[in-house]
């Protein structure tokens, strides 16, 4: 067809359309609508997303896969939940875990089947161990091939069941709303935990039941202690000679830090916290003893040696082995928490109060005030020893830097409400013991599963939970390299995080323990990349500390910068490790 013939044909078609319009005029209100996409029939994946919205979910961390494409498409159609693409499923899980820790709401992470789901097991187990509410969503292959050996098929229910409170696979559209509600309800029980919901690909694409709607969230009912429990606790405390309070992370979950302080002040009782409980009792307070949890007999253990009663509040034995504070099992213990503690030969409780912690402390304070119970001042050098050690190297300009100087400069560079996430390794021992903490959830440490590599992705989750306020992740060089790919995620999201890497070119804590065990170490040393170039390759800012006086200003500048991801590599002299354990092994407090 020539160009002239083509134009002639178009003219004839246009004339015919005009003629038809003249003979069959259309009412004005029926003007031709704009072209629209075909109407989408709601499927199971859409219904799941509706359930997530009903549960208050605002963000999901994860990686798309072939089998969860229907779910990703449903998220995009709905548009009310933000999906954060991560660089590894493990990173997604730690982001969700830390987001949950800071918000109190269940974190949600997503993986596809097989390898993707297996990569989620570590953060899921970590959430379960640390009593953090988390819901993992995993895809699965079609139901028709689950009964046989098939590509990427793993029995995910069997995999996740031992590391969650509850795991279930959705096998019919009718089960969606009940399964989703149950998954979130069990994650938020009185002992928060992880749950896992598995969705086969073919079920995801099936039509949702026409009448199916998300189930309403149940109101959280807080159990109050009985008058008999309060009277019994008050009697035990009044008859004690040297009581001491041990506070765990349950205090922060219950927002009971104020009542904890009132109880301590009213009775004039010393308070020690677990690593995970740091901040629930301000280290500025005269009654603060610091933390228990170090691998040797530390300063605060002397206060437990003299105690005849331990008032354990928000404590669970996964946070700390009770044998170190009750080696002879000769102390009375009052256990105050929302759940019954597991059995331990050195944690045989005299009284268990399973109720809301804040309500329990409020009523206990009133009961003890009526009895006019108060204890004499504690004669102890513990606070002085802690302060002396914290400041012992503040003017030490030796390089690589002493751990005490690193902790001191880090604390001075951060405000009271700034959040520091502390990874596992030798640095955890120094930060947990010496880093003064003044508010709950401002120094977060995993001492339940004690996972390496969680703080870098955790800082991304914390940044979103804190709406962009700066977050510090403190890591060893071993843990940093385990999840450093999430720097790209942080840069892409526009997070403001500072990553302080303690550099010693070894798995420092294992080296320390080998030296304690056998006097030498093996197979713990490694090399490192150029941390500055590595950071810059991701679009982050990299800094290498080359003198002791550079660290404090570098952290402060990064925390107060106008956003961005900052990696600060600081060489550390861990010869102080053995000096510390030698000193504590010989330490005796004056009587």
CATH classification code of 392-584:
3.40.50.970
Question: Would you give the DSSP letter of residue 176?
Answer: H
Q: Cβ neighbours of residue 523 under 8 Å, at least 6 residues apart?
A: none
Q: Which of 486, 431, 485 is nearest to 460 (CA)?
A: 486
Rounded Cα gap, residues 46 and 59, in angstroms = 16
- Count of alpha carbons within 13 Å of 470, Cβ hemisphere only? 21
Q: Cβ neighbours of residue 478 under 8 Å, at least 6 residues apart?
A: 425, 452, 506, 507, 508, 526
SS (H, E, C) 127-165: HHHCCCCEEEEEEECCHHHCCCCCCCCCCHHHHHHHHCC
Partnered with residue 60 across adjacent β-strands are 83
Q: Which of 282, 279, 328, 337 is nearest to 307 (CA)?
A: 328
Per-residue pLDDT of the chain (591 residues; tens, 9 = 90+): 444 444 443 444 344 334 444 443 443 343 444 445 567 899 999 999 999 999 999 999 999 999 999 999 999 999 999 999 999 999 999 999 999 999 999 999 999 999 999 999 999 999 999 999 999 999 999 988 878 888 888 999 999 999 999 999 999 999 999 999 999 999 998 899 999 999 999 999 999 999 999 999 877 777 899 999 999 999 999 999 999 999 999 999 999 999 999 999 999 999 999 999 999 999 999 999 999 988 777 888 888 998 999 999 999 998 888 998 999 999 999 999 999 888 899 999 999 999 999 999 999 999 999 999 999 876 578 888 889 999 999 999 999 999 999 999 999 999 999 999 999 999 999 999 999 999 999 999 999 999 999 999 999 999 999 999 999 999 999 999 999 999 999 999 999 999 999 999 998 888 888 888 888 888 889 999 999 999 999 999 999 999 999 999 999 999 999 999 999 999 999 998 888 888 887 766 654
Rounded Cα gap, residues 400 and 391, in angstroms = 18
Pick the CATH number of 227-380 from 3.40.720.10, 3.40.50.1700, 3.10.290.10, 3.40.50.1220: 3.40.50.1220
Q: Token pair of 446, please?
A: 């995993």
SS (H, E, C) 49-73: HHHHHHCCCCEEEECCCHHHHHHHH
Could you tell me where the DSSP H helices lie in 310-356? none
Q: Token pair of 286, please?
A: 């005269």
The domain limits of the chain are 44-204, 227-380, 392-584
pTM of the predicted protein model: 0.91
44-204 with 227-380: one CATH topology? Answer: yes
Cβ atoms of residues 316 and 248 within 8 Å: yes
Rounded Cα gap, residues 342 and 199, in angstroms = 33
Q: What is the CATH superfamily name and number for domain 44-204?
A: Thiamin diphosphate (ThDP)-binding fold, Pyr/PP domains (3.40.50.970)
Angle among Cα 455, 324, 358 to the nearest 5 degrees reads 65
């Amino acid at each position: 067809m020539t160009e002239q013939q083509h134009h002639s044909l178009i003219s004839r078609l246009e004339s015919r359309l005009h003629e038809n319009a003249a003979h069959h005029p259309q009412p004005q209100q029926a003007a031709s609508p704009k072209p629209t996409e075909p109407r989408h029939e709601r499927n199971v994946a859409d219904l799941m997303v509706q359930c997530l919205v009903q549960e208050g979910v605002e963000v999901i961390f994860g990686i798309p896969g072939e089998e969860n494409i229907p779910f990703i498409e449903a998220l995009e159609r709905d548009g009310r939940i933000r999906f954060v693409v991560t660089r590894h499923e493990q990173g997604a899980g730690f982001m969700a875990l830390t987001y949950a820790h800071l918000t109190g709401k269940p974190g949600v992470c997503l993986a596809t089947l097989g390898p993707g789901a297996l990569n989620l097991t570590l953060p899921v187990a970590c959430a379960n161990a640390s009593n953090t509410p988390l819901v993992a969503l995993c895809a699965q292959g079609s139901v028709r091939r689950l009964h046989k050996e098939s590509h990427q098929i793993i029995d995910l229910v069997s995999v996740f069941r031992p590391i969650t409170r509850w795991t279930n696979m959705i096998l019919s559209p009718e089960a969606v709303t009940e399964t989703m509600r149950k998954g979130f309800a069990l994650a938020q029980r009185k002992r928060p935990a992880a749950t896992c919901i598995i969705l086969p690909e073919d079920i995801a694409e099936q039509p949702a039941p026409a009448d199916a709607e998300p189930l309403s969230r149940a109101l959280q009912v807080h159990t109050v202690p009985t008058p008999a429990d309060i009277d019994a606790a008050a009697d035990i405390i009044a008859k004690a000679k040297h009581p001491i309070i041990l506070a765990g992370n349950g205090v922060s979950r219950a927002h009971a830090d104020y009542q904890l302080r009132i109880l301590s002040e009213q009775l004039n009782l010393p308070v020690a916290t677990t690593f995970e409980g740091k901040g629930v009792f301000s280290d500025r307070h005269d009654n603060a003893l610091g933390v228990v949890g170090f691998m040797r007999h530390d300063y605060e253990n002397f206060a437990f040696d003299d105690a005849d009663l331990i008032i354990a509040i928000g404590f669970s034995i996964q946070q700390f082995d009770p044998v170190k504070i009750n080696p002879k099992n000769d102390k009375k213990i009052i256990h105050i928490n929302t759940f019954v503690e597991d059995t331990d030969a050195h944690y045989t409780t005299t009284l268990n109060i399973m109720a809301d912690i804040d309500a329990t402390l409020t009523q206990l304070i009133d009961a003890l005030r009526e009895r006019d119970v108060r204890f004499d001042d504690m004669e102890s050098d513990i606070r002085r020893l802690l302060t002396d050690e914290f400041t012992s190297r503040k003017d030490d300009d030796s390089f690589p830097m002493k751990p005490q100087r690193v902790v001191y400069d880090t604390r001075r560079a951060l405000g009271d409400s700034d959040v520091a996430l502390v990874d596992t390794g030798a640095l955890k021992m120094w930060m947990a013991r010496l880093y003064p903490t003044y508010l709950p959830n401002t120094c977060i440490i995993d001492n339940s599963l004690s996972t390496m590599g969680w703080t870098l992705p955790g800082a991304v989750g914390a940044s979103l939970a804190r709406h962009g306020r700066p977050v510090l992740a403190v890591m060893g060089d071993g843990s940093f390299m385990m999840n450093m790919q999430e720097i790209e995620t942080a840069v892409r999201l526009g997070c403001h995080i500072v990553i302080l890497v303690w550099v010693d070119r070894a798995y420092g804590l294992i080296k320390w323990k080998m030296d304690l065990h056998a006097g030498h170490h093996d197979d713990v040393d490694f090399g490192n990349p150029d941390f500055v170039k590595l950071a810059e390759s991701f679009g982050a800012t990299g800094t290498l500390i080359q003198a002791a006086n550079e660290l404090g200003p570098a952290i402060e500048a990064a925390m107060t910068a106008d956003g961005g991801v900052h990696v600060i590599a600081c060489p550390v002299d861990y010869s102080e490790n053995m000096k510390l354990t030698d000193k504590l092994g010989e330490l005796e407090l004056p009587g």
